[in-house]
Every structure is written in structure tokens, then in C-alpha cells.
Amino acid sequence: MNRLSVPVAAALFCASLALTGCAGAGKGGAAARLDVLASWMAGTFSSEAQSAQDPEHFLNVRLIMAPIWPERRDGRWLYVEQAMADKPDRPYRQRIYRVTSSDAKTFISEVYTLPGDPLGYAGAWQDPSKFNDLTPQLLTTRAGCEITLTWDEAKREFRGATGATSCPSDLRGASYATSEVTVRHDGLVSWDRGFDASGNQVWGATMGGYQFVKVSN
């Protein structure tokens, strides 16, 4: 990748973010940065490019995060849907995230599961009003699975992770799971892994995180 001078790179960065709050991220206000983080997280993302380069280790996955409940004042809420690119109507992961700020540089993304059969909400991101009859009280918190994100001024990105062993998981023989996330204006990197009680990895990518390119807002 070609290296640009710092002033030129910064100018191009802010120009590309004119609609997503670059100024707010730079000024350092907690509310402004929370808005930027939520806007960067929202959209449709694809790992197609990474999968094409390394199909042995990475699948072609579509990730969608759609804002819901915009009237609520207790954080930014997102419906999250993850599916294989060739099976978009059969998501294998569906969650609700609530993103809040602890201070001007620290943010928490809490994870909730949906009630009943989550597939009933598959594709609902196309019409967020379908969540109007759902309330936070009907969700189940995945305690210990929240991600703490920190704003990195130098790299212009949010980076964070779950606790080392705090997120319980029984998927494929796991005892706990970890998630490491980097959120940028043009995409995100997500590395989810499951480990057994002895600390051996039993599921998830082994060569690094999935690189999701934002393909639409």
C-alpha cells in the first residue's frame, strides 16, 4: 500500500468521512465519538476479498449491522446478522448490540440474544420497524461477552476485545470464547475463537481475524 504524507492522508481521511463525523471523532467528545462508532459499525460488510486471497482459511461471509430503536437514549442499538454469502437468508449468527460510552475514548458493545427462533428476524434489517414490537426486556444478555473498545487517535480506529476468559461458550466443545475487533471507517476486523477448558482452540479462524470491507452504509 502506498504511504501518504500525514497531512495528505489526514485530509483524504476526513474528506472520505464527511458524512460520518470525522470532525466529531477528532474533537474527542464522548457523544460525538459514540455517533461515529455507531455509524462505522452500521452497514453491509463482506469478507469476499479475503476469502478470494486465502480460501483455505477464510470463508466468504456477509455481515450486516442495522440501527434499530433510534428513539432510545440508553445507547446505540444494532441488529446484527451474519451469513455465508451464498446463503444470505439463513444467517448462522444473529445478535443485538448495545453500544455505549464510558468516557471520550472508551466504549462498550454489549451482546444480546433474541427471543424464540432468531430466524424469524432474518432479513429484518431491510425494515427495522419489524423490531418495534421487540423490547430490550425481551432480550437475553450474554454476560461477560461485551467488548470494550478504545479510540486510537493515531490509527483513527476503535480497537477492543472481550475479557480473556469471561465469555462462556459451549459451541463445539468450547468452554469460553474470545472476540477481538477493530472498527474503521471503511470496514472492520473481527476475530472470534472458542477454547476448551485447557485453553486449546476448538473453533474460529486460526490465521487471524476476518477482514470485512464495508460495501454499503
Just give the CATH number of 6-216: 2.40.128.590
pLDDT in tens, 184-196: 999 999 999 999 9
Share of residues in the chain with pLDDT > 70 (%): 87
In sequence order, the β-bridge partners of residue 168 are 176
Residue 12, pLDDT score: 33
User: What residue segments make up the domains of the chain, in order of their start?
Assistant: 6-216
Cell numbers 464527511 correspond to 18
Residue 98, pLDDT score: 98
Answering whether pTM is above 0.95, one says: no
144, 155 in Cβ contact below 8 A?
no
Mean local confidence (pLDDT), 77-98: 97
pLDDT in tens, 141-176: 999 999 999 999 999 999 999 999 999 999 999 999
* Residue 128 burial (C-beta neighbours within 10 Å; 0-12, 13-18, 19+): middle
Cell numbers 441488529 correspond to 79
Q: Which of 21-25, 27-31, 96-100, 210-214 comes out lowest in average pLDDT?
A: 21-25
Q: What band does 24 get if pLDDT is binned at 50, 70 and 90? A: very low
Q: Is the pLDDT of residue 14 over 80?
A: no
Q: What is the 3-state secondary structure (H, E, C) of 7-54?
A: HHHHHHHHHHCCCCCHHHHHHCCHHHHHHHHHHHHCEEEECHHHHHHC
Residue 27, pLDDT score: 52
pLDDT in tens, 93-130: 999 999 999 999 999 999 999 999 999 999 999 998 89
Cell numbers 428476524 correspond to 121
In sequence order, the β-bridge partners of residue 216 are 44
Q: Is the pLDDT of residue 76 over 60?
A: yes
Task: State the Cα–Cα distance between residues 99 and 82, nearest whole angstrom.
Answer: 18
Residue 166, pLDDT score: 98
